[in-house]
Structure 1
Amino acid sequence: MSLSLQALARQLEQAIRDSEPFRELKQAYEDIRRDEAAYRMFANFRDIQLRLHEKQMRGAAILPDEIEQAQKAMALVQQNAKLARLMALEQQMSMTLAEVQHIAMKPLEELHRSMMEGD
């Protein structure tokens, strides 16, 4: 990566850290950390997610009871106001970062498109 691109990437990182959505997300994590019941629920939900993701990456079958367990954990998470807020904020941040990635990829997409149009 060229020096100027690295510097811009660092500026983007700092801009993300300084953004209101990131600060809200960070505060939501701190709120969960201070609430023992919510933290246990969150940790359990993340463990289930990671286990299923690892199985999926290995190409292993995800069993119906594992899907049911994940659905029950998700339902519990959604019933907790702090966790529901955290999940919503994570989704918003994820959408923002996906948009940033889409913008950053435009030059390559245009290059590929121009190559295909040249045929």
Structure 2
Amino acid sequence: MINIYNEINALEATFRTTPEFEELKEAVTAVKQDEEALNLFKSFRKVQIDLQKKQLTGEDILEDELVYAQKTAQLAQQNAKISAMLEAEMKLSKIIEEVNRILIKPIQALYEEF
């Protein structure tokens, strides 16, 4: 009997060896080593998380919060190291999306029979 978790763990190990993962790893290291970039990214992430929490709880997001979030995102994207990190993350996300698409094929096939 195949243990799917063994297979998934093997896939995870392979995932870590992809050029896209290595690129992201290097980009994250570059941001962590630059105090200005790191602080800017931490601020950007905090704003994102706070807005997501509000959305999940159904709270209204105030216009000044949106403006602040947009300004923070703009500042983060203007930083070359953060921008490179986000670009590397998007490349890696494409692989994850493709793996997910492949994994759900059997489920989709089941429903196509209806």
TM-score of the two chains, using structure 2 as the length reference? 0.94
Q: How far apart, CA to CA, are the structure 2 residues paired with 1:45 and 1:15?
A: 30
Unmatched runs of 5 consecutive residues or more in structure 1: none
Secondary structure at the counterpart of residue 62 of structure 1: coil
Which amino acid counterpart does residue 103 of structure 2 have in structure 1?
A
Q: Deviations over 1:18-48 (max 9, x none)?
A: 1111011011111111100000000000000
Partners of 2:90 and 2:101 in 1: how far apart? Answer: 16
Check if 1:92 corresponds to 2:97. no
Cα offsets for 1:54-97 (capped at 9, x unmatched): 11111111111111111101110111110100111111111220
Q: What secondary structure does 2:59 align onto?
A: coil
The aligned counterpart of 2:46 is 47
1:106 partner amino acid: K
Q: How does 1:19-30 map to 2 (within 5 A)?
A: 19-30=18-29
Kindly state the Cα deviation for residue 4 of structure 1 after the two structures are TM-superposed.
3.0
Please list every run of at least 4 consecutive aligned residues from structure 1 whose deviation after the TM superposition is greater than 3 angstroms: none
CA RMSD of aligned residues (A): 1.2
* Correspondence for 2:101: 102
Cross-structure match for 2:64: 65
TM-score under structure 1 length normalisation: 0.91
Q: Give the helix-richer structure, 1 or 2.
A: 1
Describe how 1:103-118 pairs up with structure 2 within 5 A.
103-114=102-113, 116=114
Q: Which consecutive residues of structure 2, in runs of 5 or more, have no partner in the other structure?
A: none
Tell me which of the two structures has the higher relative contact order, counting C-alpha pairs closer than 8 angstroms and 6 or more residues apart.
Answer: 2
**Aligned residues with identical type, % of pairs:** 35
Aligned residues: 114
Aligned amino acid, residue 35 of structure 2: E
